[in-house]
Amino acid sequence: MMAHIKICRAVSLIMTLLFVGCSHPVTAVKPVSTPGDMVHIPEGWFLMGSREDEGILGISVGVDEIPQHRAYVQGFYMDRYEVTVGKFRSFLEATGRKAPRIWSVEEWVKIYPEPEDDHPMNGVSWYDADSYCQWVGKRLPAEEEWEKAARGTDGRQWPWGNDFNSPEGKIMANTSEARVGWTMPVGSYPEGVSPYGIYDMAGSVMEWTSSWYQPYPGNDMQREAFGEKYKVIRGGSWENPSVPFARTAYRYSVAPKWDHPAHGFRCAMDSP
């Protein structure tokens, strides 16, 4: 009888170790709150790219935007606003990294205004943007993450819908149509937010992504630029017209070292 009891106790102990662990108690996983000034983009499918027949104002969609396809992304966080001059200045001061040329090249200094801390940082190369994101514990968004954050799941042309202007005729983004001629403080166009509440994804500065410029699945076009030579940059800018540059599906290939005054960025971060 005693031997039977010992065997039962031994079996019970083994089962406890298997399901609970040798020495660590099981605890509930606590939900992680959204980091400050970031927005959570849920995992799931969305429509990426363009159909061949959906040109706007007589301008055809880019041949690199087709075919439109369903793409899946894991949940992630995206900065609500583009990285500002003030934040980037703090990065330079803390790291001793060389300042972008836009602040020192004589030709640019004559043309462009003094940088203001609440404006989006511009004139940055891909390497500058990538280094900043790493410094703050984040990363650049992948191209598909950027597009989902900008257009949601319904394939809309602009972050706010399928018409560039609001019903009242108000321009919804800082593109050349706005006739500002320079960047604006981040968040200056609240009517133009994306379905997830992210600002300025259709204007002010074009934004670097982490992705190499590659053809979409099902696109057999041969293009010398495809490969690991150029990075994809997204969104419109203060110096470009809304069509085609500010459309959510528009892609532009840029050499990573190119630090044009219309180039800026925002960061992303994995969702736990």
- Whose tokens are 């087709």? That residue is 66
Nearest CA-CA partner of 269 in 39, 62, 4, 88: 39
| Residue 129 pLDDT grade (very low, low, confident, very high; cuts 50, 70, 90) | very high
Q: Are 152 and 222 in contact (CB under 8 A)?
A: no
Distance of CA 260 to the CA centre of its chain: 18
In angstroms, the CA 267 to CA 272 distance is 16
Q: Are 100 and 259 in contact (CB under 8 A)?
A: yes
In angstroms, the CA 174 to CA 123 distance is 17
CATH code of the domain occupying 34-270: 3.90.1580.10
Is the pLDDT at 166 greater than 80? The verdict is: yes
Residues 6+ apart with CB under 8 A from 84: 117, 118, 119, 120, 121, 186
pTM of the model: 0.86
Q: Are 65 and 169 in contact (CB under 8 A)?
A: no
* Residue range 70-118, pLDDT digits in tens: 999 999 999 999 999 999 999 999 999 999 999 888 888 888 888 899 9
Q: Is the peptide bond before 217 cis (omega within 30 degrees of 0)?
A: no
Nearest CA-CA partner of 183 in 99, 80, 265, 251: 265
| Residue 56 pLDDT grade (very low, low, confident, very high; cuts 50, 70, 90) | confident
Q: What is the DSSP pairing of strand 268-270 with strand 231-234?
A: unpaired
Of the candidate ranges 12-26, 82-96, 186-200, the one whose mean pLDDT is the lowest: 12-26
Mean of per-residue pLDDT scores for the chain: 88
Is the pLDDT at 132 greater than 60? The verdict is: yes
Is the pLDDT at 203 greater than 80? The verdict is: yes
In angstroms, the CA 196 to CA 149 distance is 7
Helix (H) or strand (E) holding 44: strand 44-48
Is the pLDDT at 5 greater than 50? The verdict is: no
Question: Alpha helices of the chain — where are they, by DSSP H?
Answer: 2-20, 85-95, 106-111, 126-135, 143-151, 242-245
Q: Are 189 and 199 in contact (CB under 8 A)?
A: yes
Q: Are 251 and 64 in contact (CB under 8 A)?
A: yes
